[in-house]
Amino acid sequence: MFSGSFKVRSVLVQFVLPHSRGSSHGQTWVIRKAYKQDFYIHMMEESYKLWTQLEEEAGVKLYRQTGLLVMGPETSDDYQLIKTNLQNNNIPTVILNRDNFNQHIPGVNLSEGHGAVVEVTAGLLYADRALRTVQGQFLKLGGTIRDNEEVTGITPGPLVTVTTPAGVYRAKSVVITAGPWTNAVLARTGLQLPLQVVKINVCYWKEKVPGTYDVKKHFPCFILTECEETKEHIYGLPANEYPGLVKICYHMGSPTDPDQRDRQTDRSDIDILQRYVARCFPGLIPVPAVVESCMYTLTPDCHFVLDYHPSHNNIVIGAGFSGHGFKFGPIIGKLLSELSLGEVPSYDLSPFTIGRFQATSKSSL
Considering only CA atoms, which of 346, 332, 341 is closest in space to residue 7? 341
pLDDT of residue 243: 92
pLDDT of residue 262: 74
What is the domain class of 68-120+196-298 according to CATH? Answer: alpha beta
pLDDT of residue 365: 41
- Between 38-58 and 127-140, two packed helices, what is the crossing angle to 10 degrees? 60
Its CATH architecture, for the domain 1-63+123-194+302-354, is: 3-Layer(bba) Sandwich (3.50)
pLDDT of residue 8: 58
Taking 70 as the pLDDT cut, the residues of the chain under it are 1-8, 10, 12-26, 261, 264, 359-365
Regarding beta strands 153-155 and 167-171, do their DSSP bridges make them parallel or antiparallel, or are they unpaired?
unpaired
Per-residue pLDDT tens digits for 142-156: 888 877 788 888 999
pLDDT of residue 362: 58
CB atoms within 10 A of CB 126: 20
pLDDT of residue 364: 44
pLDDT of residue 22: 53
Domain ranges in the chain? 1-63+123-194+302-354, 68-120+196-298
Q: Is this structure's pTM higher than 0.85?
A: yes
pLDDT of residue 221: 98
pLDDT of residue 284: 99
Residue 170 CB partners (closer than 8 Å, separation 6+): 159, 160, 161, 162
* CA dist., res. 127 & res. 356, Å (int): 31
Question: How far, in whole angstroms, is CA 103 from its chain's centroid?
Answer: 31
pLDDT of residue 12: 64
Cα radius of gyration rounded to whole Å, the chain: 21
* CA dist., res. 178 & res. 320, Å (int): 10
Per-residue pLDDT tens digits for 333-360: 999 999 999 999 999 999 999 999 976 5
pLDDT of residue 193: 98
Q: Is 147 exposed, middle or buried (0-12, 13-18, 19+ CB in 10 A)?
A: middle
pLDDT of residue 228: 83
